[in-house]
Amino acid sequence: MKIADIPFGLTDWSNVETTRHEGEVGYALWRTRQFGAKDNLIRVRMVEYSPGYRSDHWCEKGHILLCLEGELTTTLRDGRSFVLKPGISYQVADGSDAHASMTTSGAKLFIVD
């Protein structure tokens, strides 16, 4: 990721429109901002997963993800599982390790991809 041509700015996440994304079970609420040029677009999201959420797909997109609240379990296609609690993050490259997430209690995340 190259961060270029983005002037200093603030984001008040409470003022960013929320979109709902259904999972296999439960849903995710995304607040999304995009920065940069078309050929180097950076997506920044505040995501809240409902209690009982389970992803409906294996994701192969790269992310930097920080757990802010709750608990999230991310499973890699090879079977390894990781639990994220507040203050724990992960990073994965595009096409590197397919992953899917679920939460029993709900979770709030900050994601850059």
- The CATH number of residue 38's host domain is 2.60.120.10
Q: Looking at the 3D structure of the chain, how many domains does it have? A: 1
Which token pair is 18? 């929320």
Q: Does residue 10 sit within a domain?
A: no
pLDDT band at 5 (very low <50, low <70, confident <90, very high): confident
Domain, as residue range, for 71? 18-112
Q: Does residue 82 sit within a domain?
A: yes
* pLDDT tens digits, one per residue of 71-108: 999 999 999 999 999 999 999 998 999 999 999 999 99
Q: Does residue 38 sit within a domain?
A: yes
- Closest by CA to 46, choosing from 66, 26, 27, is 66
Residue 38 predicted with pLDDT over 80: no
Region 40-54: what's the mean pLDDT? 95
Q: Does residue 66 sit within a domain?
A: yes
Region 35-53: what's the mean pLDDT? 92
Q: Return the amino acid letter for 31.
A: R
Average pLDDT, the chain: 94
d(CA 59, CA 101): 9
pLDDT band at 36 (very low <50, low <70, confident <90, very high): confident
Q: Does residue 1 sit within a domain?
A: no
**Can you point out the beta strands (E) in 1-113?**
18-22, 27-35, 42-49, 63-70, 72-76, 81-84, 89-92, 99-102, 107-112
pLDDT band at 42 (very low <50, low <70, confident <90, very high): very high
d(CA 89, CA 85): 8
Q: Does residue 9 sit within a domain?
A: no
d(CA 33, CA 93): 20
Across the beta sheet with 107-112, the strand order is 18-22, 27-35, 42-49, 107-112, 63-70, 89-92
Residues of the chain with pLDDT > 90, as a percent, come to: 86
Q: Does residue 11 sit within a domain?
A: no
Residue 2 predicted with pLDDT over 90: no
Q: Does residue 2 sit within a domain?
A: no
